[in-house]
Structure 1
Amino acid sequence: MNQLLNAAGITHWKPVLSMLLMPPVPFLLLALVAALFLLRSRSRRALVALFAGLLLTWGSLTVAMGEWLHDHGMPDIPAFSPQQVAQLRADVAAGRKVAIIALGAGRERLAPEYNQPSLRPLTMERLRYAIWLSRQTGAPLGYTGGIGHAAVPGPSEAEVARRIAQQEFGLTLRWAEDRSRDTRENGQLTVPLLRADGIEKVVIVTHDLHMPRALRAFREAAAAQGVPLEVVPAPAGISSLSDDRFTRWFPSDAGQLLNWYFWHEKLGWWAGA
């Protein structure tokens, strides 16, 4: 699908198509079709479809459904362990060429409280964790993210991330890839930067739900470019947002985020993005 959109020159339609395919829009359309059939025929099948659409819409807004989808529909990628942190620190001390790369998740064109562009909350989670890993291990840090397909013009994510890392965390990014528009391009455009510096091992920092696509993008880019690169996941997680046994079954902003993010990543994986 990703290749077809690229070939047709309509990659800017990707966000629109994604929104139409992701819950709760399909479920609401199912309920609407069922309601139209009920008005015309009063059929039992239409009634079942109506209730199914409404029930699925409710579920797609709950933490319980989002966590179930995560547990059953995504590979288990554990957190970067203390042992792995120690190993990465040892790699750096031994002179091995390693890198930490944080992947973008969007920017805010203007944060009024700062009177300048900023990064979205998910993006800041990734950058903050990547900075923490860099300081714990001494490994150099990079960021990959340009301006998304549907984003308005302005500074790239990498430009904003470079400024925030320097001004707020006192850390200078070694690499700032600022042309990529999606996960595939994150890998395709970052691997050459790592190859130029002789990097042998890269630690990928992104959210757990996004990690499968990120790993695929970097591994396939490295293989296509003939770069012998070890790609290691270091997920920042949003997999569990509530442990309340009662409210987790009711619609919430946390539930909507978890469900949206799951289907966003699944659709992206199936489309090859």
Structure 2
Amino acid sequence: MNGLLTLLGIESWKPLLTALVLPPLPFFLLLLIGARLILPRRGLGWLVILLSLAGLWLSACVGMGQVLVQFALKPPAALSAAAVADLKAAVKGKEPVAIVVLGGGAEPLAPEYGISNLAPASLARLRYGLWLSRETGAPVAFSGGVGWAQSTDGKPEAEVAARIASREFGQPLKWQEDRSRDTRENAGHTVQLLKRDGITRIVLVTDGWHMPRAQKMFEQAAGGSVKVDPAPMGLAQHTTRPALDWIPSPAGYQKVHNAVRELLALLVRA
């Protein structure tokens, strides 16, 4: 799919095309089709309308998002204490290891700070990557430029992350990859950057729902010369009553949106 968009010269259309195929827009279209079908075929029209309403409802439920993530995306488990200890031992044994944090969005200007800032998802990833670095001693790389959906006058995300890591966490980044615009470019540019410094093992940090595709992209970019260990985060379950997981909510919409987006990206190999 990426190759086709590049061939047509419309790579920058990716965010728009994605938005058009993700919920709730397809269900709105089905509602219109169902309404039109009521006139010549009343039963079929109402069936389409009811299916559309069910789709709209489920596309904003935390429970549906959890089902999609757990059973369709199947993210790897979080690193255990034993796995972190093994990683620490590998670093002490002089194995060339790098922790790679993938960007999750940036704010060109956060008025409360008066400067650019990381989006909440990106900041959470950075925090976990820096925590892993403190626990293991492995240096950190951050990968993120100006995404396709961002304004072109924004600062590269890696630059923003480097400032926050140094000033607010007291842990400077060792590498900044600031040219990538999507996950595929994250992988290609970052692997190339780390290979030059002799890195043979990457500990990849991103959200659990994003990890299956991100890990696949990095393994393809590495071509077997660099080991990729997944270190997913954001896997905590909601603590609300189970019944509330099936009531539409903003959190539910975001969870389903992320899961469906990843499934589509895996399907079209984007």
TM-score, normalization by structure 2: 0.97
Which residue identity does 1:257 align to in structure 2?
A: Q
Residues 28-107 of structure 1 aligned to structure 2 (within 5 Å): 28-38=28-38, 40-107=39-106
2:264 corresponds in structure 1 to 267
> Contact between 1:238 and 1:258, CA under 8 Å: does it hold in 2?
no
> Is 2:209 the partner of 1:212?
no
Which residue identity does 2:156 align to in structure 1?
A: S
Q: After TM superposition, which residue ranges in structure 1, 4 or more long, deviate above 3 angstroms?
A: none
Which residue identity does 1:198 align to in structure 2?
A: G
Which residue identity does 1:12 align to in structure 2?
A: S
Return 5+ residue gaps in structure 1 as ranges.
none
1:71-122 Cα offsets, whole Å, 9 max, x none, are 2211241001111111111111111100000001110111111011101111
1:142 corresponds in structure 2 to 141
> Contact between 1:62 and 1:255, CA under 8 Å: does it hold in 2?
yes
> Contact between 1:98 and 1:202, CA under 8 Å: does it hold in 2?
yes
Percent identical pairs in the alignment equals 44
> Is 2:251 the partner of 1:247?
no
> Contact between 2:75 and 2:211, CA under 8 Å: does it hold in 1?
no
2:154 corresponds in structure 1 to 154
Q: In structure 2, what is the Cα distance between the partners aligned to 1:271 and 1:116?
A: 37
Which residue identity does 2:107 align to in structure 1?
A: E
Which residue identity does 1:219 align to in structure 2?
A: E
Q: In structure 2, what is the Cα distance between the partners aligned to 1:240 and 1:264?
A: 20
Gap change, CA 1:155 and 1:76, over 3 Å in 2: closer
2:231 corresponds in structure 1 to 234
**Cα drift, residue 246 of structure 1:** 2.1
Alignment RMSD: 1.2
> Contact between 1:63 and 1:242, CA under 8 Å: does it hold in 2?
no
Q: In structure 1, what is the Cα distance between the partners aligned to 2:245 and 2:239?
A: 7
Q: In structure 2, what is the Cα distance between the partners aligned to 1:68 and 1:91?
A: 35
Q: Report the count of equivalent residues.
A: 269
> Contact between 1:208 and 1:239, CA under 8 Å: does it hold in 2?
no
Which residue identity does 1:18 align to in structure 2?
A: T
1:207-226 Cα offsets, whole Å, 9 max, x none, are 01100111111111111xxx
User: Which range moves more in the overlay, 40-49 or 131-140?
Assistant: 40-49
Return 5+ residue gaps in structure 2 as ranges.
none
> Contact between 2:218 and 2:228, CA under 8 Å: does it hold in 1?
yes
